[in-house]
A and B are shown apart, each in its own frame.
Chain A
Amino acid sequence: MSVLGRITRCLGPRVLGFVALMAAASVCGANQGAVFSSGNLGPTILKAPGHCVRPTEWMRHNHMKLLLQERTEWVREGIRDRKDSLENCVKCHAADAPNGAVFGAKQDFCVSCHRYAAVKITCFECHSATPKGKVPAFHPLYGPMGPHGEGANAHGLSLMMRESASTGRLGLGASK
């Protein structure tokens, strides 16, 4: 058995994963350019067709600030800068996704990084995770495995809400 295997058996895979995450985080702090280069531990990022509206490195660190400014101008001023809009992000990043969405399954564009960084996304409780005119392959709030499947862990709903939804109390999900 390899050294890594022994350590894994002693510590348990979750603890090891945590240690690896911490190590990766410290690398990120030292060199912000090489965030996602740690082999299988990092998230798998789906490639989108075409060029992003900003350099990729800039977007990794600042997309939330860009979206915050955009949302204020968009909602409160009516300045519809389509280029920097969330709708435009979704349009491009969902284009080649297996399920046609940026949110839902764990491999989806937004979820893959946010899952890795353990940052909850609440955008898609209101915003559409699919481009205009496209129908998602499955329910974007639940993921392909249904309300309790793996994809469901990535979304922002509380456990109570998910359970109520699955029991049909909220008029959603499977009815008994």
Chain B
Amino acid sequence: MSEVNKERRHLLGAGAAVAGLVVAPGVFLVTAGKGRADEEAGESGPQWGKVRWGMLVDTAKCSSGCTQCVSACDKENHLSGETLPTSSQWIRKMELTDRETGKNYSLPMMCQHCDNPPCVDVCPTGASFKRWDGIVSVDRHLCIGCRYCLMACPYKARSFVHHPVTDQNPDVPRGQGCAESCDFCKHRIDEGQIPACVEACGSTGGGALLFGDLNDPKSEISQRVATIATLQVRADLGTEPAVRYEGIL
């Protein structure tokens, strides 16, 4: 290698090192910032795979006509509550009938927080992402509104915001031109609370929803999914949803 090339490499390397460290005085790149945050957060901070939030729906307790989970979601996230084709619906109630036996089932359907989320695979900007604790969500700062994730989701869980939004919950920023879906009320989870739908179902509904950490063998949800038969919707697709249903086998 010629002397000029060596010098050039040296210079480029030094430039890259400086660029990697500091963007501006006092402001670091994300990777550097993450390290700092990890130190501050300690054991309870973000550690990939440590926590996997999941939900278990007991369809036997979910009664037809009860929409407490839906109204709690609308209230918490300031959704309009309309059910037009263009309305945002983060959770919806479904009524199913077994054609052969005539048995009716009622269950909530929302983002299944897949371990292999198709919406994340197809997102061209990285806006649709899976968080360290398994929550699948949209980074609206990066979303360009292409709606590819709406097409890719086998559960029809994603919505697109068609109209300007004006009365957001300060904890749940949302606006026109972005895809969105249930995020397990991550603003509540980060504060140590449970999702609004689970809380409402437990207090005024039938108590059909159980929320917890699937990676913690001692949690109630882990023990229940280990002992009773549960179903992942469209398990054949290999998306590995974190939402499981019991009683619809």
Contacts and interface: CB of A to CB of B under 8 A. Distances in A.
Given A126-B174, A161-B164, A79 B46 contact: yes
Which of A72, A78, A90, A170 has the most CB atoms of chain B within a 10 A radius of its CB? Answer: A78
Interface in B25-40: 26-28, 30, 33-34, 37
Interface string A41-67: 000000000000000001000100110
A90 B46 contact: no
B141 A71 contact: yes
Contacts of B129: 76
Interface string B137-176: 1011100000000000000000000011111111101111
Dominant secondary structure at the B interface: loop
Contacts of A27: none
B236 interface: no
Contact of A139 (B45, B166, B173): B166
18 contacts: A65-B23, A69-B28, A73-B37, A75-B139, A77-B131, A78-B135, A78-B190, A79-B37, A79-B46, A81-B37, A125-B176, A127-B170, A130-B170, A131-B170, A132-B171, A161-B164, A171-B163, A172-B164
5 smallest beta-carbon distances between A and B, as pairs: A126-B175, A128-B170, A126-B173, A65-B27, A127-B173
Interface of B: 23-24, 26-28, 30, 33-34, 37, 41, 45-46, 129, 131-133, 135, 137, 139-141, 163-171, 173-176, 178, 186-187, 189-191
